Chains A and B, each alone.
Chain A
Amino acid sequence: MAKKAQASKRSEVTSAGVPLADIAILIGVTVMVSSAFFANVRQVLIDAGYTSMSVGPFALALGLIAGAMGLGWRRKLVFAAALVGVFALMSLGGSVLWFGEFKFGDLATAPAELTAATTLPFLVYAMFAFLPWAAPVVVLVWFLGGDPRALWRRAGR
């Protein structure tokens, strides 16, 4: 009996499938919010060596992730906003405003030319260039409670 109840609960948790409508709506919302936000700082990002590539797919992926999460709408939107905010902050941190000496393309070539004087600024720059990819994953880990399977499990809605 207990086994049957447990199986029933498991089925309730996993059988709802991926919420496609939520994903579609969240992709739309996240892309629009991101586009509107990044339109204002786009030139700064381009000057820093970033291209739309850094922003578009990211917004799309965030929408996908937020839409798939088995959480309520309020938490989904907080999640999407937190990710966009973190990404924007890190992108701007790595921009010409702080470390104008290095640009994104320099990650491949600059290490060969580093001197004692330029190593530290390069390292700080590299952190800001790399962390935009890691920081949102940290936010994702927190929102999913460390369990990536929460993306398609609908429990707790």
Chain B
Amino acid sequence: MRRERGTVARSNLKRDAYWGVDAEIVYTGLRLLGYYSALTIILLVILPSGYIHATQLLTADGSAYLIGLAGIPVTQDGILLHLPSITLQIDFACTAITIMALYVSLILAYRAPWKLRLLGIGVGLPVIVVANLARIVATAFTAEYAPNLMHTFHDYLFQVSMVVVAVALWAWWFSALNRAAVREATRG
């Protein structure tokens, strides 16, 4: 049964296994770690450090605009968003850089044509950016209208929502990869 739910991409896997996991899957995981480590070095050490602050500012700009559009009075002071009852600070973690790096590493970790990889990255990153802005706007709403729930929502619900968005994107891209593999096999 498990083989039947498998796909063309999976059916090409090597038969070697480690602890019951196909070797290719183990390698995919290890490649994910490798790409993620490389991205961490690029993002934190190789790129000019000012970009992190610039990304925070950009996130704050976008959030302030959307919060204002949603009808909550907001004034922006750099990475600080002053709402009527609370001030939100857009930290490094609020930029979703970590989750974007993770998503890109995941896409790169699979053996896939570059065209498909670029499609995954090109569609996925904007979706994560939009989801992150929506998360910040939702946090602002919670802070204004249900302040007692703000920390629970911000610390738990919205964080989990980002994980769900990333997993949904991963599933969408993996399906596209399989459709491409099926087309390739049919043509062959």
On A, residues with C-beta under 8 Å from B are 9, 13, 52-53, 56-58, 60-61, 64-65, 105, 107-108, 111-112, 114, 119, 122-123, 126-127, 130-131, 133-135, 137-139, 141-142, 145-151, 153, 155-156
Closest B residue to A56 by beta carbon equals B156
Tell me how far the C-beta of B38 lies from the nearest C-beta in chain A, rounded to whole angstroms.
Answer: 11
What chain A residues lie within 8 Å of B59 (beta carbons)? none
Q: Annotate B15-48 by CB proximity to A: 1 below 8 A, 0 otherwise.
A: 0000001101110111011001100110011000
A145 to B6, CA, bound (A): 9
**Interface pairs A-B: 9 shortest CB-CB:** A57-B159, A111-B49, A108-B92, A138-B29, A112-B49, A148-B171, A134-B36, A61-B163, A156-B2
Q: Which residues of A contact B29 (CB under 8 A)?
A: 138-139, 141-142
Q: Residues of B at under 8 Å CB distance from A?
A: 1-2, 4-7, 10, 21-22, 24-26, 28-30, 32-33, 36-37, 40-41, 44-45, 49-50, 52-53, 56, 91-92, 98-99, 101-102, 105-106, 109-110, 155-157, 159-160, 163-164, 167, 170-171, 174-175
Q: Write out the residue numbers on chain A whose beta carbons fall within 8 Å of the beta carbon of B164.
A: 61, 64
| B contact residues around A123 at 8 Å (CB) | 41, 44-45
Known: A145-B22, A155-B4. A56 touches B155 (CB 8 A): yes
- Contact B25–A141 (Cβ < 8 Å): yes
Q: Are B174 and A148 in contact (CB-based, < 8 A)?
A: yes
Beyond known contacts A60-B160, A64-B160, A111-B45: 19 more, CB 8 A cutoff: A53-B159, A64-B164, A108-B92, A112-B50, A114-B49, A123-B45, A127-B37, A133-B98, A134-B102, A138-B29, A138-B33, A139-B29, A141-B29, A142-B25, A147-B6, A149-B174, A151-B171, A155-B1, A155-B4
